[in-house]
Structure 1
C-alpha cells in the first residue's frame, strides 16, 4: 500500500490507477468515508463512476449504484473501452437484480452480448452471480447453481468473488425464510472474509435475515448501521411481496 500511495502522490501517468487502488482497498476493508473522499481525484482514468457505484451498493442504495454504473458504461462507450463497458454493464445487471428481476434480465442479455466479444472470465462469473440474485426466492435451482459457481471460482483462482456469491445466496435463503440454510451461508461468508476483506458482507447477509448485527470489526458506513440494515431487509421483503403477488 505504501508503494501505491507513493505513485498516487507523485501525480504521474499511473497516479489515477494508484488512487483507484487505494480507494478500492479502503472500500474492501470497510472504510467507506476514505473511499468516497478519493472519488474527486480519480477521473475517467481512475474509473470514478464505477468506484462510486461500488461504494453505494454495499449500503443497499441500489438506485444510486445503478445510476453510477450506467454512467460508467456510458463513459466507457465514449472512450471506446469495450472491456470497461462490459464490466459496468454486468455490474449494472447485478445491482438491478436485487430490485427488479425483469429489468435485470434485460441488462444481463446486453451484458452477455458484450462479454461474448471479450475474454473476461471474472466478469462472466459476476454475470452468473447476477443471475442468481435475479432468481432469488424462486425454484430455479439457485442453491445448486451457487455450489457449482463456488467451485468454479475457487478453481479459477478468483476468491474475491466468493463473498459476493455467498451474499447472493443469503438473499435467496432470506427471501425463502430458510433460516438453517441462511445460517450455513453466513458461516461460509465468515470464512471467506476471515482476513477482513469484504467483511461487511457478513453484516449485509445478517441484515437480510433480520439477524443480530454480527461481532467483528466495525464497518465505517456512510450512513448509520441501522439505515443500511433497513435497506437490505427491505429488499428481501420487497422480493417476497413480488413473488407472492
Structure 2
C-alpha cells in the first residue's frame, strides 16, 4: 500500500515516469489494491504520456472500483470530444452517488463542469455551481482547482479579467503543491488566447506547457486550438488520428467565437 501511495504522490508532483513505474510494480505484484487503483493510475499516466490507446485499453479493464467512467472521461476530453467526456463524468457522478462516495461525486462533477465549459458556457455555469455545492465540507485541492479552471474556460474570450484570475490561481496552485493542475490551467489560458486570436500569447503558453510536461499532448492541444503548425514531431498517439483531434479543437474555438458574437 505504501508503494501505491508513493506512486500516487509522484503523479501529483508531476513525476509521471516515476509514478508509472511505481503503479506498474504494484499492479504486477497483486495484492489488495492491484485489482483497481494501480491500474487506474496506469491509465491516467498513459494518458499523461500521450499514449491514448494504452490508456483506453487499461480503462476498459476497470469496473466501478477502478472509476472506469471518470477515467474514460479523462481520455475523451483531450481529444476535444466534450460530449463523450461530459457523459462519462455524469455516469461517474451518478455511480458515486449510488455508492455514497462524496469525494468521487464532487470530483466527477468538477470534471463534467470542466468539459462542458469548453462546449457550452451557459450550461457550464450551472454545472460549476453544482460542483461548488458538492465540494462543501470537503478538502479536495485538485478538484477545487479544476472548478476554478472550469470557470476560466467558461469565460474564455470575454473581458472577465481572465489574465489576473489565472495568475492568482497559478500562484495558489503552486503554494498548494498541486502541480498536476498547472498544465490544465495553461491549457485554459491557451483556449482564451485562441478565441481572441492572440497567437503570440498562445505561443508563450505553449512554451510554459513544454516546461511543465514531458509529453507533448497538452502542447499539441494548444497548437490545435490556435491552428498552429507543430514545431517538432509529436509523440502523442491519438485514438482517431491527429487531424480529427485538431479539427474538434478548432470547432470548439469557432463555436465559442460564434457564441460571443451572438451574445453581443
The answer to whether residue 24 in structure 2 is matched with residue 5 in structure 1 is yes
Q: Which runs of 5+ in 2 are unaligned?
A: 1-19
Counterpart of 2:218 (choices 183, 201, 212) is 201
Give 1:227's aligned residue.
244
Distance apart, 1:26 and its partner CA: 0.8
Deviations 1:64-90 (A, max 9, x none): 000000000000001100000000000
Distance apart, 1:181 and its partner CA: 1.7
Task: State how far apart, in whole Å, the 1-side matches of 2:22 and 2:152 are.
Answer: 38
Equivalences for 1:18-167 in 2 at 5 Å?
18-167=38-187
Task: State how far apart, in whole Å, the 1-side matches of 2:144 and 2:225 are.
Answer: 25
Task: State how far apart, in whole Å, the 2-side matches of 1:79 and 1:112 are.
Answer: 20
The answer to whether residue 245 in structure 2 is matched with residue 237 in structure 1 is no
Give 2:193's aligned residue.
173
Distance apart, 1:217 and its partner CA: 4.1
Deviations 1:88-143 (A, max 9, x none): 00000000000100110000110000111211122111110000000000000011
Task: State how far apart, in whole Å, the 1-side matches of 2:162 and 2:254 are.
Answer: 18
Change (3 A) 1:129 1:3: closer
Q: Which runs of 5+ in 1 are unaligned?
A: none
Task: State how far apart, in whole Å, the 2-side matches of 1:2 and 1:166 are.
Answer: 27
In the TM superposition, structure 1's runs of 4+ consecutive aligned residues that sit over 4 Å from their partners are: none
**Which secondary structure state, in structure 2, belongs to the residue aligned with residue 98 of structure 1?**
helix
Distance apart, 1:3 and its partner CA: 4.8
Give 2:13's aligned residue.
none
Structure 1 residues 235-244 or 216-225, which shifts more? 216-225
Q: How many residues align?
A: 242
State the superposition RMSD in angstroms. 1.3
Task: State how far apart, in whole Å, the 1-side matches of 2:91 and 2:30 are.
Answer: 25
Distance apart, 1:216 and its partner CA: 4.8
Task: State how far apart, in whole Å, the 2-side matches of 1:203 and 1:18 are.
Answer: 27
Task: State how far apart, in whole Å, the 1-side matches of 2:160 and 2:247 are.
Answer: 27
* TM-score of the pair, normalised by structure 2: 0.88
Q: Is the 8 A contact 2:187 2:218 kept in 1?
A: yes
Q: Is the 8 A contact 1:202 1:214 kept in 2?
A: no
Deviations 1:26-82 (A, max 9, x none): 111010101111123211111111110000010001100000000000000011000
